[in-house]
Copies of this chain bind each other. A is one copy, B any other.
Amino acid sequence: MSHANYYGVIMAGGRGTRFWPRSRRSHAKQVLRVLGERSLIQQTVDRLRPLLPPERLWVLTNDYLRAEIIRQLPGVPRRQILAEPAARNTAPCIGLAARILHSLDAEAVMGVFPADQVIGRPARFLRLAGAAFRAAERGRMVVLGIQPRWPETGYGYIEFPEGVRPGSLKPAPVLRFREKPDRSTAEQYIAAGRFFWNSGMFFWRADVFLKALRRHLPKAATLLESLPAFSHRHFGSRLRETFPLCENISVDYAMLEKAKDVVGLAAGDIQWNDVGSWNAVYELLPRDAEGNAGSAGRLAVASRGNYVDAEGKLVALLGVENLIVVDTPDALLVADRARAQQVADLVKLLERRKREELL
């Protein structure tokens, strides 16, 4: 095997409702330019380029987003940008990618990357990803752990043995996957020093993954094996019949927590951020002397710590603090930054009120 067998699978099916009102079904978080001039998915592709040219990338998304992603990623062959017929979480999604890649290249090694993360130190990340690919090539299932910077309760954790060295390119055994902890547990994890955030980035050979799928998720495995060859003219229609029947479950929960032989790379400081909310964007952006950030077209008087996102419009802030202000042509959000996570609840409220035009 060689680098020519390395493929990237970009998972881009999420909605990113916490980025409402900019994030919509047909314009979700991963295709937004919330940090810089390139969208999050474009940044993901850019970052991988030294290791994986766009021709070797596959993108799994949905019908709402496919056209926009094709537009944003001209280097990725169009037929490699697939719409999942239904949202079935990560296990069937990765299973489908593994099924297709394996049918095209029996020796395919795949790296799985969420489309909506940022990494401030891409060179360090690429060294880790390269090491992960090499371990995957040798038959291991590899997960990338991120050294935690605070006791986050919104992520799963990877438990490594004592003595794990952040930044090492040598994979370490994963003792256990830990689901999202409560605050005090998260603090214990940080103190212990051997619990790492689960980044959602995975590396394995397609055949190895399909074997694990058969063991842990036999129904999905059977359904995906029943598909005709990717080039077959009925592939799309069969996928639309089959895929919705797969279990709706994450790869972490369905497989990794049960597999015995998973290894991990413990990343040091690669400035990873999953850009989970408008507040995360605020934290990542440069701020002015008053701690305001975002759109250049703002005028702040006696105002501190605000994030502004408004295109082609002056936003005047007067005596306000720690707000998120996001303006779009049909919806405007004004929120306390401390409640950035609850923006997702606003979207649920709009769904209940059948405000489809705003979703």
Contacts and interface: CB of A to CB of B under 8 A. Distances in A.
A234 to B, nearest CB: 43
B343 A332 contact: no
Contacts of A329: 313
A335 B317 CA distance: 6
B355 A314 contact: yes
A67 interface: no
Contact of A334 (B323, B331, B343, B350): B323
A346 B316 contact: yes
A345 B301 CA distance: 9
Interface in A48-73: none
A315 B332 contact: yes
B330 A316 contact: no
B316 A333 contact: yes
A336 B358 contact: no
Interface residues of A, number: 36
A331 B355 contact: no
Given A313-B331, A358-B314, A320 B301 contact: no
Nearest to A326: B316
Interface in A193-247: none
Nearest to A319: B336
Nearest to A312: B330
A299 B359 CA distance: 14
Given A301-B349, A346-B301, A349-B299, A335 B313 contact: no
A144 interface: no
Given A301-B349, A349-B301, A316 B342 contact: no
Interface of A: 20-21, 299, 301-302, 310, 312-320, 323, 325, 327, 329-336, 338-339, 342-343, 345-346, 349-350, 355, 358
Nearest first, the 8 closest Cβ-Cβ pairs linking A and B are A319-B336, A318-B335, A319-B339, A314-B331, A315-B332, A316-B333, A318-B339, A316-B346
Given A21-B316, A299-B346, A313-B332, 8 more contacts: A299-B349, A316-B333, A316-B346, A317-B335, A318-B339, A320-B335, A323-B334, A334-B334
